[in-house]
Amino acid sequence: MKKPEHLLAPALLGIGVLAFLAAWAHRLAIGAAPSAGIALLLALSGFLLALYAAPRAGLWGTLALVAAGAGLASVWNANLALFTVLSGLLLYLGLRRRLPEPAQAAFWGWAFVWPSLALVLVWHVFPSLYAFYISLFDRVSFIAKSRFVGLLNYQILFHDPLFWRALSNTFWYVVFTVPTGIVLGTLVAILLNERVRFLGLFRTLYFLPYITALTAAAAVWMWIYHPEFGFLNWLLGTPGFDWLHTPDGVFGLLLRPLGVELKGFLAGPSVAFVAIMAMSVWHLLGYNVVILLAGLQSIPRQYYEAAMIDGATWWQLQRYITWPLLSPTTFFLAIIGLIGAFQVFTQVYVMTPTGGVLNDTLTVTMYLYNKGFRDSDFSYASAIAVVVFFVILALTLLQKRVLERRVTYGE
């Protein structure tokens, strides 16, 4: 980029978009930053840029200058900042014959990226920071001005038994569903990869639950779990057993005959929650199978043929060839599964709308939903969200440390 004027057009684009966002931030009174001043400054610098460039771009340059001038009016109407963006476009049209290759690339690159970038800034980047910001206030609401309280919400959160309950429930959910899904998925994928007939039919049957909406699937499983007329109770010969309203922990139930009494966290997830987990594994299995099958098919056949000539048994083939060469895929599924499982909401909300008996199926996302949208305590809910972010981050990093050492990246 030899001459600075080659960057004028893309710079105007960026300045225009940012001025637009700043002007809107001012209009909506979001945050404490002096967004009106920033917007004015941006629009002004856009105008000066256009003034500098206009003589070089002929008629288009004049139009660009007019547009940049109109962009200054964004002080009165936020939408007018878009004129600064327009001025960038006009300037490029004026200069394009004389612009060298890198300058053209700069303009088009930014022009293609800005629409997405602006949306990502508004709906992803800004909210991530804003969540932390409002968690520092006392009950942010639309009506009253709220007080800055620092980390008080976090302090309350760490002494909130319901939050710990939700966190431990979610922990059990992750621990139960992610490995089960991967192990079952690997088994099915390995069997499907044995050149079976009706591969398409089998794959469809295993895959269909994944594309089924969770709401509908949860309704079906509620019906299967129904205490009086449910199919499961008929199958197991346990008439009247209310799967979704049994808060006893499964470890506690299993060990009770042995005379061991487990309480609290150690009693494990409740029967109701395990029922929901079973449904979730059913739902997710197809995804794992398809991904693992693709992973299996990318393992070269020669490895197996060579090992078979050496007299390896079927089990040895799976253990020493399939498992290590499949490990990148398994690792990917573990990470994706963890992040997804930690945010479980839909099936829990549909099957146990109140969080179950004694909050035995309350998950973190559901607690966040309850706090934010039932109790309208946005600040507290944001504190939950921030903690969830760090927990997921920590778990992902931990998983990377622990598991990635065992991952074999082939070739």
Confirm if 339 and 396 have CB atoms less than 8 A apart.
yes
The one-letter amino acid code at 349 reads: Y
Binding mask 35-74 for other proteins (x = CB under 8 A): ----------------------------------------
Which is nearer to other proteins, 24 or 323 (by Cβ)?
A: 24
Answer yes or no whether residue 349 interacts with other proteins by CB under 8 A.
yes
- Tokens 């622990």 locate to 402
Residues between 322 and 341 that touch other proteins (CB under 8 A): 329, 332-333, 339
Binding mask 86-125 for other proteins (x = CB under 8 A): ---------------xx-xxxxxxx-xx-xxx-xx-xxxx
At residue 107's C-alpha, the angle toward residues 105 and 111, to 5°, is 115
Residues between 72 and 91 that touch other proteins (CB under 8 A): none
Q: Which of 73, 100, 130, 406 binds other proteins (CB under 8 A)?
A: 130
Residues between 187 and 216 that touch other proteins (CB under 8 A): 187-188, 191-192, 194, 196, 200-216
Q: Which of 42, 131, 136, 157 binds other proteins (CB under 8 A)?
A: 131
- Give me 122's structure tokens: 């508004």
* C-alpha of 295 from chain center: 23
Answer yes or no whether residue 393 interacts with other proteins by CB under 8 A.
yes
Confirm if 344 and 170 have CB atoms less than 8 A apart.
yes
Answer yes or no whether residue 394 interacts with other proteins by CB under 8 A.
no
The one-letter amino acid code at 238 reads: T
Region near other proteins per CB under 8 A, out of 155-163, 264-272, 318-326, 369-377 = 369-377
Residues between 7 and 26 that touch other proteins (CB under 8 A): 7, 10
Q: How far is the CB of 82 from other proteins (least distance, A)?
A: 16
Region near other proteins per CB under 8 A, out of 15-23, 175-183, 257-265, 368-376 = 368-376
Any long-range contacts for 363-369 (C-beta under 8 Å, 24+ apart)? 363/166, 363/169, 363/170, 363/173, 364/163, 364/166, 364/167, 364/170, 364/388, 365/170, 366/166, 367/162, 367/163, 367/166, 369/345
The one-letter amino acid code at 382 reads: S
Q: Where are the alpha helices (DSSP H) in 121-267?
A: 126-134, 152-158, 161-192, 199-211, 214-224, 231-236, 250-255
